């Protein structure tokens, strides 16, 4: 049996473009010669798909199973079954723009490698000039996927192109309905005071996008990876921190007159350290490999180049390309001591937005409030720590607010400060159940909230 395809799966992603995306598939078919696929199984599949394009001028799509059928025989069957399974998993999840951006580099590398091999053969035959010519031609090879800009005459096709239906989510209904949620090629910032729940908000959004079959990379510069993983697990399965217990859960709803109705129910939930929890989790998470990766870096160690090198290593060694990057939090990146901290933090924010654009992913980070925010009930963009320019760089900004009284009552407030291309909704009130890892169990829009808070909301037990 031939060797299994290596972990780096760019060639398989190109196969996914060929199989399910007409326009991009045509580009790959035109630019990438069959002999440049260095994995024979993928090369054989690509040959069949190329033939399909030549005959029907479209991607195989639902006919891809017919193409695989010819290979599902003999000792090669397990290999092609694995390839088919991986290809179908990519069907709706391949990062098209990022794959095409990587294609240029990959194509040049493959052409150069092939040129070196042919040049070596020419030298072996004593033909030095031919070897030089082959290397010169290979080194000058240019891929065809250079972005030359958008011609205004072609802009309607781009503007009205069907977009994914709410590809990402905050998991907070009142924000999602009003189109405040993460998006590819955008940076979202969350402002909050220290110790008030910013990390829980990041975990909450990570969980909800994980449920939407997105791949999440969570970078932690403050909390250990095991503790972050515990928060994800508690949020996913509604577990208490220690042993199982009965937990009060607050619900909140708005009336037509603008009042609020608060109610409380008691729910009995298992705990992280119950006798059978570990076995249950191992069974539930066994099929979730390469969906969520949590990486811890010590404060003031991580740089932007090191972050990108790590993301590249995940792609090369684990075939993991994230749809969403969560950074907790950018203010703790390593900085040049010879430069002002304010400017360095602003530069990190700009670089994170660049990464979102170049890699076609959604990026979410949190920012600590400055000292002036400590005395406020509602934080604004003026309360961003260190560099105010972060507010100009980010595409979407929200502040997470919770007074001590609200913390005791299991409620909090989110104010949208910036929502690129969309109107800013009013404040959103959320009911929380952090005892079982639930950042938001209900949400309503702000009205006469404070007049109702003390009168109705039951105290935390």
Contact 47, 34 (CB under 8 A): yes
Quick one: average pLDDT of 274-283?
Answer: 94
Kindly indicate the confidence band of residue 456, based on its pLDDT and cuts at 50, 70 and 90. Answer: low
Average confidence (pLDDT) over 257-272: 85
Q: Outline where DSSP puts E strands in 41-161.
A: none
> Which is more confidently placed, 67 or 406?
67
Q: Indicate if the pLDDT at residue 152 is higher than 60.
A: yes
Is a pLDDT exceeding 80 seen at residue 40? yes
pLDDT value of position 372: 56
How far apart are the C-alpha atoms of 84 and 88, rounded to whole Å? 6
Classify residue 283 by burial, with Cβ atoms within 10 Å: 0-12, 13-18, 19+.
exposed
Q: Going edge to edge, which strands form the sheet with 411-419?
A: 292-296, 216-220, 324-328, 362-368, 186-192, 396-401, 411-419, 428-433, 438-445
- Quick one: pLDDT band at residue 109, thresholds 50, 70, 90? confident
As beta bridge partners, residue 327 has: 219, 365
Superfamily of domain 173-456: P-loop containing nucleotide triphosphate hydrolases (3.40.50.300)
- The distance between the two most distant Cα atoms of the chain, rounded to a whole number of Å, is 93
Question: pLDDT: is 379 or 83 the higher one?
Answer: 83
Overall average pLDDT of the 392-414 stretch: 89
- The predicted pLDDT at position 460 comes to 52
Packed helices 40-56 and 10-20: angle between N→C axes, nearest 10 degrees: 20
pLDDT at 458 over 50: yes
- Poorest-pLDDT segment among 40-54, 80-94, 238-252, 345-359: 80-94
Whose structure tokens read 């909140």? 252
Residue 82 has pLDDT above 80, yes or no: yes
Quick one: pLDDT at residue 268? Answer: 95
Regarding pTM above 0.85, the answer is no
Specify which of 28-32, 156-160, 209-213, 249-253 reaches the highest per-range mean pLDDT: 209-213
Between residues 389 and 304, the one the model is more confident about: 304
What are the boundaries of each domain within the chain? 10-139, 173-456
Res 420: pLDDT: 79
Check if the beta carbon of residue 114 is closer than 8 Å to that of residue 138: yes
Determine the angle formed by the axes of helices 40-56 and 22-31, rounding to 10 degrees. 110
Residue 59 scores a pLDDT above 70: yes
Query: Quick one: which H or E segment has residue 314?
Result: helix 304-318
Q: Are 332 and 221 in contact (CB under 8 A)?
A: yes
Which residues, 6+ apart, have CB-to-CB distance to 180 below 8 Å?
Answer: 170, 396, 398, 416, 419, 422, 424, 425
Task: Choose among 286, 353, 298: nearest CA to 325.
Answer: 353
pLDDT bin (cut points 50, 70, 90) of residue 140 is: low
């Amino acid at each position: 049996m031939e060797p299994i395809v290596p972990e780096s799966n760019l060639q398989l992603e190109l196969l996914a473009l060929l199989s399910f995306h007409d326009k991009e598939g045509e580009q790959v078919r035109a630019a990438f010669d069959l002999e440049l696929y260095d994995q024979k199984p993928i090369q054989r599949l690509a040959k069949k798909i190329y033939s399909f394009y030549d005959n029907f001028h479209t991607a195989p799509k639902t006919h891809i199973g017919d193409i695989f059928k010819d290979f599902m025989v003999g000792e090669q069957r397990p290999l092609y079954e694995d390839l088919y399974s991986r290809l179908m998993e990519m069907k709706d999840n391949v990062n098209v723009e990022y794959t095409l951006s990587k294609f240029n580099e990959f194509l040049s590398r493959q052409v150069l490698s092939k040129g070196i091999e042919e040049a070596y053969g020419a030298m072996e035959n004593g033909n030095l000039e031919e070897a030089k010519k082959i290397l010169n031609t290979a080194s000058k090879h240019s891929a065809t996927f250079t972005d030359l800009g958008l011609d205004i005459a072609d802009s309607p096709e781009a503007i009205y192109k069907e977009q994914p239906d709410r590809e990402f989510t905050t998991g907070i209904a009142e924000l999602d309905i009003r189109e405040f949620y993460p998006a590819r090629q955008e940076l979202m910032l969350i402002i909050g005071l220290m110790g008030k729940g910013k990390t829980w908000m990041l975990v909450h959004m990570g969980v909800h996008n994980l449920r939407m079959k997105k791949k999440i990379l969570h970078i932690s510069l403050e909390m250990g990876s095991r503790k972050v993983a515990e928060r994800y697990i508690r949020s996913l399965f509604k577990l208490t921190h220690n042993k199982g217990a009965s937990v009060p859960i607050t619900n909140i709803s708005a009336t037509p007159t603008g009042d609020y109705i608060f109610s409380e129910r008691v729910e009995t939930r298992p705990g992280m350290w119950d006798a059978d929890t570990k076995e249950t989790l191992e069974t539930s998470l066994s099929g979730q490999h390469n969906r969520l990766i949590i990486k811890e870096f010590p404060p003031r160690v991580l740089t932007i180049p090191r972050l990108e090198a790590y993301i590249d290593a995940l792609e090369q060694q684990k075939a993991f390309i994230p749809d969403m990057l969560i950074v907790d939090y950018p203010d703790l990146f390593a900085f040049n001591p010879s430069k002002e901290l304010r400017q360095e933090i602003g530069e990190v924010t700009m670089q994170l937005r660049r990464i979102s654009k170049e890699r076609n992913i959604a990026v979410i980070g949190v920012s600590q409030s400055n000292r002036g925010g400590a005395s406020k009930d509602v934080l604004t963009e003026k309360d961003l720590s260190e560099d105010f320019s972060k507010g100009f760089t980010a595409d979407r900004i929200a502040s997470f607010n919770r007074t001590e009284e609200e913390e005791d009552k299991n409620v909090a407030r989110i104010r949208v400060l910036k929502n690129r291309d969309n109107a800013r909704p009013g404040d959103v009130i959320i009911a929380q159940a952090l005892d079982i890892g639930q950042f938001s169990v209900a949400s309503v829009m702000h009205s006469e909230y404070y007049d109702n808070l003390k009168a109705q909301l039951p105290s935390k037990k």
